[in-house]
Amino acid sequence: MDTDKILQDLNENHESKKKISESDLKTYELLFNSLEKPQEKGFSLGFSNHIIRKIEAKQQRKFNLKIYSLFSVLLLMGLIFLSIFFSKDQMKMLFSIFLEYKFAVIFLLVMVISIQLSNKWFIQKETEN
């Protein structure tokens, strides 16, 4: 920073408006030049990648929440539909079908839950690194 600029700056922001002596100006020049030097330290190397991964994880969580909410609404609507339009006998028949294929249904549910849990674990691991 040159002397004229320093003088202009000091006069603009100087409270007392006193005349600045030659020796004061020299010290200010030394100070201003040092103050304007960029810092050598900074964030870690993978800083921007880390932020992107965190945002992606956040977006994934939001998406999952939407999907679960949608699934819950559909399930609730289905149950309401069944209770209104199905008679007791039809319900019994439906339940017997479920019992017949219970292992397949349980296997499917366990698979869905384990996929969801492992996905959550991987995202958490990735965000931590």
Task: Report the interface residues with another protein, using CB under 8 A.
Answer: 13-15, 23-24, 26-28, 30-32, 34-39, 41-44, 47-52, 54-56, 58
- Find the shortest distance in angstroms from Cβ 27 to another protein: 5
CA distances, 112 to each of 39, 67, 102, 119, 122 (Å): 51, 13, 15, 11, 16
Provide the token pair at 4. Answer: 């004229």
Return the number of the residue (41 or 88) whose C-beta is nearest another protein. 41
Q: Which is nearer to another protein, 31 or 75 (CB)?
A: 31
| Positive/negative CA dihedral, 71, 75, 80, 85 | positive
7 or 32: CB nearest another protein = 32
Least CB distance from residue 51 to another protein, whole Å?
5
Q: Smallest distance, Å, CB 49 to another protein? A: 8
Residue closer to another protein by CB (options 47, 95) is 47
For residue 101 the two structure tokens come to 């294929």
- Return d(Cα 61, Cα 65) in angstroms, integer: 6
Residue 72 tokens, joined: 């819950």
